[in-house]
Structure 1
């Protein structure tokens, strides 16, 4: 609830709502378990007050048989509630996991920092739901039952237990207020440290040869040390309150024994009531003690749940889409403007400034320009990898968000400038991990990219596994397999960002041939290029300068304007 307005429904909120039935079942099982928890004290009460005074062995045997049955039922109910919570955690993961993964993937394309790591937060919530701490929360509402029993035994014992419970609750609140900020900050610092570790490992190829390891290691050590220090402060405070609560609970039980002994001497209660009241009072405080002992995990789960709610609520509403007919390849770019990421929108310079052009099926556009002219940003905008701040891109007259993700993906081929293939076989990567891909389509794409023979030379051909840090491929081979992935299925709209940055002469020829094959098939191709060989097969050229279109038109006409002949060297004057 925010400002009186309820938060909108999300996949996560709906998944939590569907768990209400499980929570109700666990609540009923917890009721049975907590009632049956009185079996032990009541048995001891009967043994001390009836069996020992009467000396009746049959009574003792009958009571023991009843106790056995009651404890069996208690064990079954305790098992069932743990099983229900474990299954509930599993169902939550199954209902939310795919969407959490998609959000995490899409967050890589946004200019804004993510609220958290939804997969990690989901793992924390799932682990907490199936933990003993969650069952301890279900036991808390039954504390009044045990207090009522102690009052029945003797009001003085009841009030003593209530006073002890109040002390334990105060300790729990103090624990929360004193350690909450430290636990939250430690989690944030741990997330930043994890990101830095992943980042440093990905860039190890440059970090290690240039002798950056000591400096990078020192930065990680500082982050790690600071995170541990903050977490340790919170842990120290939690541990101190946990130890204090535990010691006080034992003291309270001894106090109740002593008080019960005094009342027994005064003939106000029986000997059996002394032990029973002590056990029941200890049981009344057990859930609080358990929750305090698991306070760190409870705080982590609460923060993870809060971040998950905020993350899912921050996602844009999904627009209804209509199954549009397959694209023909008419591309229209209207006034696309993209600013440098930041909070101060009025101070951000544009990366792209009112870029507009049109292409028809069979056209191939080469986009050239100096570094930082906006070529890669334009490529990302064209394939919907990032959104334009102004203007838009239309494919066959429809904006890209009018297509479903799957339908649009089948129409687009994209080779990014920074290419990293995924763990899997060469075939899997070319087929875009489509489980329904046919071998014929995969081989066709490889042949269009001119990489079929090269793949056959690999240890296992198309079945060669591409595993991180052990892929037997060079940069040029990876780029050519990435090209095969881009042309898989002969998409109607292909964007290639610096596709020949790692290619040799043979690779350049294969790239030019692939562009020609795509054009002949009616595909629209856009190539971002620095090297002239990348635009050998295009029919149109656009020159970007500082994010603006400086020239656009037929290739030969534009190149004549932009490539000026060098003046002939003048003969040196003779003496």
Structure 2
């Protein structure tokens, strides 16, 4: 920016050349009728214009590079924010806001707006030159500059609210557009297209109305500033003419002062013309500062912990959904040692998925702690913890890339042996070989080129990649056939044999056959925990009693037993 400011100084000094040229032509060439003088002056001013144009081009290119450097300097922080905001319960309207803000700032820095503000400090130079022509001309220039600056301040105050409303409405429209794109199949299948078209029309009309309002404000104030500039230039000519008539100035001074006044006010006019972009960029900077402060990655631990290999310990755990205060699960305590498998059971909305997200570090805990080999999971850097954890969510969420890239979690240094091992544990190796290009097959965004069962089994391979110590599988057999369920059972068996801890959420008994422990949740609390066989045996014994029990139950223990009976598969 210092270099750009130097170029701005050179450009503004060279802007004086036009006024000085006119002054010399009117005061020296015309009275003397000397063609050689005219030719010499013309060559000098031509050279000045060429240097000015070259410096102006360099300045614009440098500003473009500065905008790019600004983007590059924030790219990691922006991506961290994009990956963190959904986990903090941020509204969808704000999910992509950091990226839009960065684009807005870069676009402004690469445009004409910064040049106007770099030229403004040189306005006093032009005013001093006008005072040298004549004090009356200088006073007029000062009054005109004050008037145009007052117009700039008025533009700032009037346009602030309109610009914010226009940006908010544009963001709301973008959220609706993203939702339509992501759910196009459901909208078409359920006949909701007309209703969503109506919603889109309302959002679009609101966006157009707010943007039109903002544009009206800028247009009115910009036109007023332009008229003021014309009045000042013409007034400068009039004052110059009066001074010429009264023999207090020459004709060259009259013409030169009018041109110089236009040059002096040009930066302010450019600033008013780009005020909309300036306001948007300033709001973007303020939002980015707050967002990046909130989503900044925690400092790296001073010591890298070894791979956990002994125990998972959960102590008095409470979990709230991001952006809310109500606990979904609370007072959860249990421990599992290496090689154990836990069936996590419960009715819908009992907190199973919320607990699983806390166990793998997706959702922060509001109370209690999750420990691996005695260390709380926040003592690991996210990248390091991810190597020791395998996770298969209900929505498998594959990424655009090859099958091999998805299995190895897009790890640059992944080996073929590790990828093949994960695929073989998940029992999906033969299925991958039947794909058009095997492991090099591109699966498209979200795995659209694969069936639901194929996506789930490749997701399982991704979960077990790298021999993780803790593996959490949320409804891993929801889309599997009998062959796939058999492969899932074998995968759990292999993981437990290799001393991994496996936690499975499922309502189908086939996924639970290879587990040795069970926990039942009801309304976010543990109602049963222990050996899978003991809990299942107790439940099957109590099911008959539960069906005969009166509707009014007197004890909390009986309520817990009834809930266990309802959620454990037969």
Give me the TM-score of the superposition, normalised by structure 1: 0.91
Q: Secondary structure at the match of 1:466?
A: coil
Q: Which runs of 5+ in 2 are unaligned?
A: 546-570
2:376 is equivalent to residue 404 of structure 1? no
- When residues 184 and 320 of structure 1 are mapped into structure 2, their CA distance, relative to the original with a 3 A threshold, is same
**Cα offset for 1:203?**
1.9
Other-structure match for 1:105 = 83
| Count, aligned residues | 542
Deviations 1:342-397 (A, max 9, x none): 56x4xx3x310211111111111110111111110011001100011111111111
Other-structure match for 1:312 = 292
Other-structure match for 2:160 = 180
Aligned 1:119-158 pairs, distance under 5 A: 119-158=99-138
**Cα offset for 1:441?**
1.4
**Cα offset for 1:211?**
1.5
Deviations 1:209-236 (A, max 9, x none): 1112222221222122112212211110
2:218 is equivalent to residue 238 of structure 1? yes
Deviations 1:246-275 (A, max 9, x none): 122123222222221222122111111121
Give me the TM-score of the superposition, normalised by structure 2: 0.91
2:333 to 335, 341, 356: 356
2:71 is equivalent to residue 93 of structure 1? yes
Q: Which has the higher helix share?
A: 2
Aligned 1:364-513 pairs, distance under 5 A: 364-468=341-445, 471-513=448-490
Superposition CA RMSD, Å: 1.9
- When residues 524 and 223 of structure 1 are mapped into structure 2, their CA distance, relative to the original with a 3 A threshold, is same
Contact 1:451–1:484 (CA under 8 A) maintained in structure 2: yes
Aligned 1:519-534 pairs, distance under 5 A: 519-534=496-511
**Cα offset for 1:41?**
0.9
- d(CA) in 1 for partners of 2:308 and 2:283? 45
Other-structure match for 1:42 = 20
1:73 to 46, 51, 65: 51
Q: Secondary structure at the match of 1:267?
A: coil
Deviations 1:158-217 (A, max 9, x none): 222222222222222222222210111221222122122212321222222111222222
Other-structure match for 2:231 = 251
Q: Which runs of 5+ in 1 are unaligned?
A: 1-22, 569-575
- d(CA) in 2 for partners of 1:55 and 1:341? 82
Other-structure match for 2:6 = 28
Bigger mean CA deviation after superposition, 403-412 or 194-203: 194-203
Deviations 1:256-309 (A, max 9, x none): 222212221221111111211111100111111101111111111010001011
2:179 is equivalent to residue 199 of structure 1? yes
Q: Secondary structure at the match of 1:543?
A: strand
Q: Secondary structure at the match of 1:392?
A: strand
Deviations 1:16-73 (A, max 9, x none): xxxxxxx222112111111111011111111111122222233223323322332233
**Cα offset for 1:564?**
4.0
Contact 2:319–2:365 (CA under 8 A) maintained in structure 1: yes
1:220 to 200, 204, 207: 200
**Cα offset for 1:115?**
8.5
**Cα offset for 1:116?**
6.8
- d(CA) in 2 for partners of 1:336 and 1:145? 68
- d(CA) in 1 for partners of 2:321 and 2:111? 45
1:282 to 249, 262, 265: 262
Contact 1:329–1:493 (CA under 8 A) maintained in structure 2: no
- When residues 551 and 566 of structure 1 are mapped into structure 2, their CA distance, relative to the original with a 3 A threshold, is closer
- When residues 111 and 532 of structure 1 are mapped into structure 2, their CA distance, relative to the original with a 3 A threshold, is same
Deviations 1:474-521 (A, max 9, x none): 111111111111111121111111111111111111111111111111
**Cα offset for 1:103?**
1.2
- d(CA) in 2 for partners of 1:108 and 1:469? 18
